[in-house]
Amino acid sequence: MGSPKIEERRALDPSVAGYLDNVLMPRIAQLHNQPIDSVGPRQILGETGQESGIRNQIIGGLTGAVGGQGLTGLENQGQNYLSNVLGGQYLDPTQSPVYRSIADSITRQAQEAALRSGDILNANFDDLPNEIRRVAEVSDLLHLDVMDDIFVPNFTFSLERSLEIIELSTLPVDVHLMVAEVDKKAASYAAKNTASITVHYEACEDPIATLRSIRNSGKRAGLAIKPNTPVAVLEEILEEIDMILVMTVEPGFGGQSFMEAMMPKVQQARHWLTQKGFTDTWLQVDGGV
């Protein structure tokens, strides 16, 4: 679970006192439908039984602990000091009831905003309608991985089988093409029930032309990058992309472990999308999730 402090580092006042007064207290007041003046250190830290002067203690101690780093240091040294101030009841400050309430709220909002795309790569194809139905019960999209044993060392579905799956699906289909000569093949997958078609940057002769062709068919155009491809290749063509797919395994086989080292790519892509105002662009990870 992520700390709400991380989400609020853009507060106008970057000091510890500014964080307490301008970010955390107003949020708690809003959560509890209370006026801001009624929210104090106990609401922030849980019922520790300490006097109201704890606020100044915390500000002084945290400021000293993190030095000139401001809020960027709170996640490390500052947390240790805060644990000591709490005197044992909440040795881990993240266990404060209100802290948990805030963090849980943020997590719920993120989960509600996310779309779940279910894969049928390991489905029983002798019972395809029921397999698709089971995916539909827990997903918002059906994810279809198409591999040709050329671009990646595995084969999954022919065009004919892919179109059969697309027609059977009760969900919009999210097609991920891991195939060679994808510029020529992408349009064939623009069936009526596809929501998006994602091609690999590495397989495209002309990524922009291919993405525009997909868009012209009325589908969302996605661009995927393999683990060894730098995320920088996306920056100058973001306006052409409806979905960025960051591979967190080497494409080709299921059952691989999630590559944590790919997460900075996701963070950088999200930064660019936010900075440039592409708020409708989807950001997806695939592999080991």
Please confirm, yes or no, whether 149 is among the known catalytic residues: no
Structural domain spans, the chain: 4-111, 115-286
| pLDDT(135) > 70 | yes
CATH, domain 115-286, list 3.60.20.10, 3.20.20.70, 3.40.1350.10, 3.30.930.10: 3.20.20.70
Written as one letter, the residue type at 76 is N
pLDDT of residue 41: 46
pLDDT for the residue numbered 222: 96
Amino acid found at 17: A
CA angle 195, 285, 182 (to 5 degrees): 55
Task: Look at residue 93 in the predicted model and tell me its pLDDT.
Answer: 43
pLDDT score of 246 more than 60: yes
183: annotated active-site residue: no
Q: Which residue has the higher pLDDT, 53 or 176?
A: 176
The closest alpha carbon to 55, from 43, 70, 68, belongs to: 43
Q: What is the pTM of this model?
A: 0.60
pLDDT at 142 over 70: yes
Q: Which of 126, 127, 145, 183 is catalytic?
A: 145
Give Cα separations from 34 to 38, 95, 152, 190 (angstroms). Answer: 7, 22, 57, 52
Write out pLDDT tens, residues 79-134: 444 444 434 443 344 454 444 554 454 445 444 455 676 777 777 778 888 888 88
Inter-CA distances, 191 with 39, 125, 166, 194, 242, Å = 55, 20, 7, 6, 18
Distances (CA, A) of 47 to 40, 52, 93, 95, 256: 11, 11, 12, 11, 45
Q: For residue 31, what are the contacts with CB-CB under 8 A and spacing of at least 6?
A: 98, 101, 102, 105
> Of 55-59, 123-127, 163-167, which range is least confident?
55-59
pLDDT tier at 197 (50, 70, 90 boundaries)?
very high
- The pLDDT-based confidence of 11 (bands split at 50, 70, 90) is very low
Tally of CB atoms within 10 A around 225: 21
The pLDDT value recorded for residue 286 is 82
Most confident of 15-24, 56-65, 243-252: 243-252
Top pLDDT among 4 and 59 is at 59
Position 100 scores a pLDDT of: 52
Top-confidence range, 65-79, 90-104, 178-192, 245-259: 178-192
Q: Per mean pLDDT, which range of 70-74, 169-173, 183-187, 188-192 is the poorest? A: 70-74
**Top mean-pLDDT range of 58-62, 150-154, 284-288:** 150-154
Instruction: Specify which residues 224 forms β-bridges with.
Output: 200, 245
More confident residue, 257 or 219: 219
CB atoms within 10 A of CB 89: 13
pLDDT of amino acid 285: 87
Q: Which of 148, 174, 242, 286 is catalytic?
A: 286
More confident: 57 or 256? 256
Q: Which residues contact 284 (CB under 8 A, 6 or more apart)?
A: 117, 222, 243, 244, 245, 246
